[in-house]
A = this chain, B = another copy of it.
Amino acid sequence: MTNPSLLILPGDGIGPEVMAEVRKIIDWFGANRDLSFDVSEGLVGGASYDAHGTPLTDETMELAQSVDAVLLGAVGGPKYDELDFSVKPERGLLRLRKEMDLYSNLRPAQCFDALADFSSLKKDVVAGLDIMIVRELTSGIYFGEPRGIIEEGNERVGINTQRYTESEIDRVARSAFELAMRRGKKLCSMEKANVMESGILWREVVTEVAKDYPEVELSHMYADAGAMQLCRWPKQFDVIVTDNLFGDLLSDAAAMLTGSLGMLPSASLGAPMANGRPKALYEPVHGSAPDIAGEGKANPIACILSFSMALRYSFDQGAEADRLEAAVERVLADGVRTADLLGEEGVTPVSTSGMGDAVIAAL
C-alpha cells in the first residue's frame, strides 16, 4: 500500500517557521507510529510570487489537486501591499480554495483551559468555550462577478458581487448540520436577510435543509446581532453557519475572543474524491504575522493542530489525532509557553522550535 500524500505549503511570514515544527511531528509519526506520508513541499503567496511572479503556479495547483491533503502555513505581508491585485499573495490561497472547491471551512473557536486568562473577555464568559464556525468558502462576494474598478462618468467605481446559488447554500448547510449532529445538535445560521436578498435565499435554503435533520435545533440571527452575541455570551452557540464574508469577520472575532488565537487550526473541506476522502486543506487560523516572522516567537501549535485535524478528517487516524492533541494539552499544562502566551508566573518560555520539541517529548 502506498503512503497517503501530503502537500506542504509554508507560505509567508511565520508560515515557514511553524511548518518546520509540523515537519518534525510528521517525522515522529513516521518513525514511531508506522504512519508515514509522502510529503511534498511547494510555494504559495508572496514566497511563490518572489520565485515565480505568481502567488501559485499551475504546477503547484495540480499537485494540490492530486494529493490527499494540503497543509498551509499563512500568506501575505506588507512587502506585497503594492502588488497588483491579481498577483497578491492572497490570490494564491483563494485559487486553492476555489479550484479545489473547498466549500466548507471549519473554524473552531475553543478556549484552552490553561489559557483562559489570555482572553480579553472575563474568565467566566470564555472558560470552556467550544464552538465551531462553518464558513462558506468558495462563493459569495469573494468570487462573484462582475467585479473590478471601472470608469463611470468621470470617476471610478469599485464593484464586487455577492452571489449564492441554492446548491451552494445547500451543501455548506448540510456540512454544518452533519457537524451539529456530532456535537451539541444546535445550529445558528447568520446572514442579513433583513437587508440582502442573498440573505433571504440563504435563510430559506438552510430552513429547507433542516427538514433532513429534525434532531438539530436551528435558529437564525442577523449577522450584526451575531457579532454582538459572540462578544456578549459566546457559549450560547454550538455550531454557526454563515457565508464567506461574514464568516471571515465572525470567525476571526470569535477566535480572538478565546484568547487562544495561536492555538486554533482550521479545515477547509470539499466533496469526496475517488478514494472517498474529502478534498482538504488545513491551515492555522492566525495569519502570517510579519511583525514577528523569523524571530522564533511564533506559536506552532495552531499549525500542529491543523495537522491533527488532517489526521482526523483526511486520514481516518482519529486515535493518532487524539494522541497528538493530548500531547499538546500536556505541554500547556506543564506551563510551556511561546512568546504570545507569556505573562503568567511560573511558566517556561520557549521558542517556536522549543515548543515543537516539547510536543515531541510529550508524544
Other CB < 8 Å A-B pairs besides A227-B250, A231-B256, 10 of them?
A76-B194, A121-B122, A141-B141, A142-B196, A147-B197, A148-B197, A158-B199, A159-B198, A228-B255, A229-B256
Contact with B along A96-133 (1 / 0, CB 8 A): 00000000000000000000000011100100000000
- A52 interfacial contact with B, CB 8 Å: no
Tell me if B253 and A231 are in contact (CB < 8 A). Answer: yes
Tell me if B248 and A249 are in contact (CB < 8 A). Answer: no
Closest to A157 in B: B165
List, sorted by A's number, 6 A–B pairs whose CB atoms are closer than 8 Å: A157-B163, A158-B201, A160-B161, A227-B227, A227-B249, A228-B252
- The 3 nearest A-B residue pairs measured at CB: A158-B201, A158-B198, A228-B256
Determine the chain B residues whose CB is within 8 A of the CB of A159 once the complex forms. Answer: 144, 161-163, 197-198
- A282 interfacial contact with B, CB 8 Å: no
Determine the chain B residues whose CB is within 8 A of the CB of A245 once the complex forms. Answer: 192, 245
In the bound complex, how far is the Cα of B249 from the Cα of A152, in angstroms? 29
- A79 interfacial contact with B, CB 8 Å: no
- A94 interfacial contact with B, CB 8 Å: yes
Shortest beta-carbon distance from A16 to chain B in Å: 20
Copies of this chain, whole number: 2
Say which residue of B88, B149, B192, B229 sits within 8 Å of A201 (CB atoms): B149
Determine the chain B residues whose CB is within 8 A of the CB of A228 once the complex forms. Answer: 252-253, 255-256, 261
In the bound complex, how far is the Cα of B195 from the Cα of A248, in angstroms? 11
- A225 interfacial contact with B, CB 8 Å: yes
Shortest beta-carbon distance from A77 to chain B in Å: 11
- A191-208 residues with Cβ-Cβ distance < 8 A to B are 192, 194-202
State the interface size on chain A (CB cutoff 8 A): 61
Closest to A225 in B: B252
Contact with B along A248-264 (1 / 0, CB 8 A): 11101101110001000
In the bound complex, how far is the Cα of B228 from the Cα of A148, in angstroms? 27
- A183 interfacial contact with B, CB 8 Å: no
Tell me if B202 and A158 are in contact (CB < 8 A). Answer: yes
In the bound complex, how far is the Cα of B141 from the Cα of A225, in angstroms? 18
In the bound complex, how far is the Cα of B166 from the Cα of A158, in angstroms? 8
User: Of A156, A157, A223, A227, which is in contact with the most chain B CB atoms at under 10 Å from its CB?
Assistant: A227
Closest to A165 in B: B157
Say which residue of B121, B149, B167, B200 sits within 8 Å of A85 (CB atoms): B200
Determine the chain B residues whose CB is within 8 A of the CB of A85 once the complex forms. Answer: 197, 200
- A59 interfacial contact with B, CB 8 Å: no
In the bound complex, how far is the Cα of B229 from the Cα of A156, in angstroms? 31
In the bound complex, how far is the Cα of B85 from the Cα of A268, in angstroms? 33
Closest to A164 in B: B158
Determine the chain B residues whose CB is within 8 A of the CB of A136 once the complex forms. Answer: none
Determine the chain B residues whose CB is within 8 A of the CB of A233 once the complex forms. Answer: 120
- A344 interfacial contact with B, CB 8 Å: no
- A224 interfacial contact with B, CB 8 Å: yes
Shortest beta-carbon distance from A33 to chain B in Å: 36
- A323 interfacial contact with B, CB 8 Å: no
